[in-house]
Structure 1
């Protein structure tokens, strides 16, 4: 199993990182209110467009915007981890201005932090499966991701009182992948920490991507990839709309 883990981790980390691309400006409709989507390649709709030069038309923030008649600005950057987002919110004028004027905010970040932990644990374990699991737990305990996430939400809150929806991390590995079971050991505790962070702020709701995807990766995750399919993006849109208390209209 350790050899398989090594192969999968190397391939999937490469897929997750991708290449940072241009950010998208307002899109879809001309509603009076606006949605700003922050995060990584997931709200970007990575690998669902003809190219990855701009967010995909089927990216979940656009689907939310279509249903709720919102102007949408996707500021998701492929490959970003929680520290990248925090830096942007602290010092990037474009991000700060967009968030300041937002009426709704979605936040989808942390998947790449988790994948980085898997990669680092694999590299240090030397193929020892038991050590691999121990290292994952140690690295999670020492990760700055949760502090970065809380600090990011604090920064968003300093810029706007708009409702925020924070997405949990879904299991990105297909059911037959040995990393699927491993991820299921750790993602519940990661997502429980996300819930605690959300509950510590005013008007931050959780969109539970982990349970929404469940073990349906064959339908919701692209094959040989870790990014959502179009159907997966629809699920993310649906739970986001529910968290915002909007009605979901199935297209």
Structure 2
């Protein structure tokens, strides 16, 4: 009889260990936000050394306000091709996405800035030529194809909601480039809107509208990166987009 009871106990223990609920995430465990992209989620120039992501960058603000664990994988200077490559080949990125509950994506800004600078350099102050070159280079760029592939790659790893940020105007009102950016960004940002509307569970954070013409408040002087107030505004846009 004792042997039979022992066998039953062992069988029950084995059954409970095999149950998926034993390994499921605790109901009390926090959900996670994984942020990928460039220097904007990183929070460049908000810390003393720029060696680690700034704790005042928008992913951490979202995490604090929505009670989420945050993994900030933003890398300063990255263009869309670099993020795409990381998502395809870097196990750190892939595993982070697999275990995410939300994914924030901010990318394309450096691609577009490079195009803008190339057109400005090649046009040598000729505004007509500048506009022509800008249009040609934007049409030839693979930034939007890369972003589409980034979204597809994330979707192979997780069905978590994706928070996709569009591009704000980084130039102060005193900079002539502010008005160039205001001319081209609404059209560029239509592509980000299309990504959100044509893919399931992608939520657009409208950084462009959020910043408007308040660069003096939201963009660091002599820089193109958000101030602490700018990061808070990006976080607000993200939380509103996700409904958190």
Structure 2 counterpart SS, 1:106: strand
Structure 2 counterpart SS, 1:55: coil
Deviation at 1:67, TM superposition (A): 0.7
Deviation at 1:68, TM superposition (A): 0.9
State how far apart, in whole Å, the 2-side matches of 1:74 and 1:165 are.
14
Structure 2 counterpart SS, 1:105: strand
Please list every run of at least 4 consecutive aligned residues from structure 1 whose deviation after the TM superposition is greater than 2 angstroms. none
1:102 corresponds to 2:125: no
Deviation at 1:199, TM superposition (A): 1.6
State how far apart, in whole Å, the 2-side matches of 1:127 and 1:227 are.
25
Deviation at 1:127, TM superposition (A): 2.5
Partner of 1:117: 115
Change (3 A) 1:117 1:37: same
Q: Deviations over 1:194-229 (max 9, x none)?
A: 111222211001000000000000000000000000
Q: Deviations over 1:29-57 (max 9, x none)?
A: x9521000011000001000111000111
State how far apart, in whole Å, the 1-side matches of 2:147 and 2:198 are.
12
Partner of 2:210: 212
Change (3 A) 1:31 1:225: farther
State how far apart, in whole Å, the 1-side matches of 2:168 and 2:139 are.
19
- Give the CA RMSD over aligned residues: 1.0
1:155 corresponds to 2:183: no
Partner of 2:201: 203
Aligned equivalent of 1:229, options 227, 230, 242: 227
**Of Structure 1 and Structure 2, which has the larger fraction of its residues in helix?**
2
Structure 2 counterpart SS, 1:75: strand
Indicate the structure whose relative CO is greater, using CA pairs within 8 Å and at least 6 residues apart: 1
Structure 1, gaps ≥5 residues long: 1-29, 247-251
Aligned equivalent of 2:128, options 119, 130, 144: 130
Partner of 1:23: none
Structure 1 counterpart SS, 2:164: strand
State how far apart, in whole Å, the 1-side matches of 2:181 and 2:53 are.
27
Number of positions where the alignment pairs a residue of Structure 1 with one of Structure 2: 217
Trace 1:10-159 onto structure 2 (pairs within 5 A): 31-159=29-157
State how far apart, in whole Å, the 2-side matches of 1:79 and 1:224 are.
17
Maintained 8 Å contact 1:171/1:184: yes
Q: What TM-score does the superposition give when structure 1 sets the normalisation length? A: 0.85
Structure 2, gaps ≥5 residues long: 1-27
Partner of 2:3: none
Trace 1:172-187 onto structure 2 (pairs within 5 A): 172-187=170-185
Q: What TM-score does the superposition give when structure 2 sets the normalisation length? A: 0.87
Maintained 8 Å contact 1:82/1:113: yes
Aligned equivalent of 1:168, options 166, 184, 209: 166
Maintained 8 Å contact 1:38/1:74: yes
State how far apart, in whole Å, the 1-side matches of 2:227 and 2:70 are.
20
Structure number with larger C-alpha Rg: 2
